[in-house]
A = this chain, B = another copy of it.
């Protein structure tokens, strides 16, 4: 077990290195100056708004987490009245709490840096694209490094202390239950504000985007931070932890090599190192293209990861080239999914232009063509995930029993290995988006706004790519979670002296039953979130109307709107609308489990994964497509701003907003939560079920 100790040590060392580098970047960003008073003021408002939301969210979450921790303590992995090993229950409850805490810390720090970077990026843009790009990117990178550092540290620490990977599922469950709140709640927040601001500002009052007279404008900027930075960070923390945890659960159950568990850590370590190198080498010339700069850092990270893992495989006795192949296939497929997503959402490609052209015939055609291409865009990613799972399985199957599914989980680890880089790119987006708004509000002049626009547009393109990437990774991860669920269910079945599962046969009626219901879950879940945004936006619109009617001089810009009222509405509504959707998914899991037992749950997870992937890809891509086709029209095409095509494109964009920023990206988290609930409750489903 010396090898394992070595890799525990290396994990801690790498995590510390990541934190140190993050601290360096943080200080570097902080050192940059802001002088514009108006920008400082608004930036402070955004920061305060984000803090308000996160404080409220975390105070609700802390209570929620404590309640769940008690439930976990009593019930998991075995009900406390039926087990001798109470220590396991205690460990899993503590692991759960650590998972929530680390996720909260990562989200908090990320938002802190993001709200620090936005003003500095805006003012940096006065000196050209180079300084502005670096501030935005490095601000985002702090989040990326913290998230990946925390996940590596947490997983290594929990496993080292308890020695049993099952406990890790508790840690992972903590991460994912927080991610559900952060991602879906943040998503509702951000789109509530965005839609309400657009509806009243652009449509009713005819004032420009980001106009300071609009009471929703600060809430809109806060939304970018809590939805896109904190939410997305929690989401990827969750995926990353889930991928590692399920790989480790499977690795521990394998016989044949002592090196499997260390290998999982090795890949995670090298992924983080590769991300650090990618981040450190990110550069742009004085007139460079920010999209290219972001993408080339991603490619650097990918190549460094492939080379480092190959070197490790050659050097360390017991590491296998087959596993290296599986992980590499996962990573490469991730890159390919990213590139195909780009094809559907980039405005230099035909699809965005076709949708913009269709807008000329009216909004119904914007919607119809966007929905259609959104559906088609799901195909390449689905095929990519299918092929990588098949190849990983076939590569690793000859290594022995259970290795095939381990191969798939290592493909997921591979796809997520460069997640530090992905988060950096992703968090860059809302920072520069905010910076654009601040440049407008601070009156920094046309050239600065143009630069901020260019940075922002790169953020949008890269965001679509990273989103496709993270959905793909989640797809593979949940396959390995299905494997982890089977291990857990079999452990429970063995303990109960029942026959073990050998798989989940579609022709079994309980499996089929589970599949059909599972497939409906992501549809209903995303619908509930979208309706939540709808309802909440209506509330905020009413508030904006109230302010314009009751605050004298607001319309003329002589009085300040009450920004905090809008932030309040977004905060309260987001948390209120989110809970039924989350509960629905969990209650459905319980019903299916107690009716059909572990077989039905296997089917349920499959249905949830497959339809979840489809709907998530559809929604994310259609949303990105509509957003960019609106921008394409605004750039002067198909009649430009103010034309009929533009009006139609704006409607498409509004439809796409909750698709791409609320529902689509929350589906991942819902799938992970449901998978983990299933794994953790497997012994209960084995003990009590109607047809199981």
Contact = CB atoms under 8 A, between A and B. Distances in A.
A513 interface: yes
A513 B378 contact: no
A408 interface: yes
Interface in A586-629: 596, 602-603, 606-607, 610-611, 613-614, 618
A658 B508 CA distance: 36
Interface string A476-487: 000100110010
A564 to B, nearest CB: 24
A533 B642 CA distance: 27
A37 interface: no
B505 A408 contact: no
A75 interface: no
Contacts of A199: 361-362
Given A506-B482, A516-B385, A520-B382, A654 B610 contact: no
Nearest to A376: B527
Contacts of A603: 506
B602 A506 contact: yes
Total copies of this chain within the assembly: 2
A405 interface: yes
Contacts of A611: 519, 610-611, 614
A365 B198 CA distance: 13
Interface in A517-575: 517, 519-520, 523-524, 526-528, 530-531, 533-534, 538, 541
A368 interface: yes
A324 interface: no
Contact of A523 (B379, B520, B654): B379
Nearest to A592: B386
A364 to B, nearest CB: 4
A369 B531 contact: yes
A502 B503 CA distance: 12
Contacts of A483: 507
A603 B607 CA distance: 12
A479 B613 CA distance: 23
A367 interface: yes
Interface in A185-200: 195, 199
Contact of A506 (B363, B511, B520): B511
A399 to B, nearest CB: 14
A58 interface: no
A523 B614 contact: yes
B503 A379 contact: no
Nearest to A519: B610
A373 B527 CA distance: 7
Contact of A517 (B382, B393, B658, B691): B382
A368 B530 contact: yes
Contacts of A373: 527
Interface string A496-513: 000000111111111111
A520 B379 CA distance: 6
A506 B404 CA distance: 13
A179 interface: no
A389 interface: yes
A372 B519 contact: no
A516 B368 contact: no
A365 B520 contact: no
A511 B611 CA distance: 16
Contacts of A510: 390
A195 B374 CA distance: 21
A269 interface: no
Given A512-B386, A527-B372, A506 B507 contact: no
Contacts of A371: 527, 530, 655
Contacts of A538: 361
A515 B610 contact: yes
A143 to B, nearest CB: 30
Nearest to A531: B372
A71 interface: no
A172 to B, nearest CB: 20
Given A373-B527, A376-B523, A655 B367 contact: yes
A368 B370 CA distance: 13
A479 B397 CA distance: 30
A651 interface: yes
Interface string A337-372: 000000000000000000000100111110111011
Nearest to A650: B364
A520 B393 CA distance: 21
A618 B519 CA distance: 12
A472 to B, nearest CB: 11
A461 interface: no
A405 to B, nearest CB: 7
A503 to B, nearest CB: 3
Nearest to A517: B386
A373 B362 CA distance: 23
8 contacts: A368-B534, A371-B527, A382-B519, A389-B512, A390-B691, A479-B512, A506-B606, A523-B618
Query: Can you list the 6 inter-chain pairs with the closest CB atoms, starting with the nearest?
Result: A503-B505, A393-B509, A364-B654, A372-B527, A386-B516, A375-B523
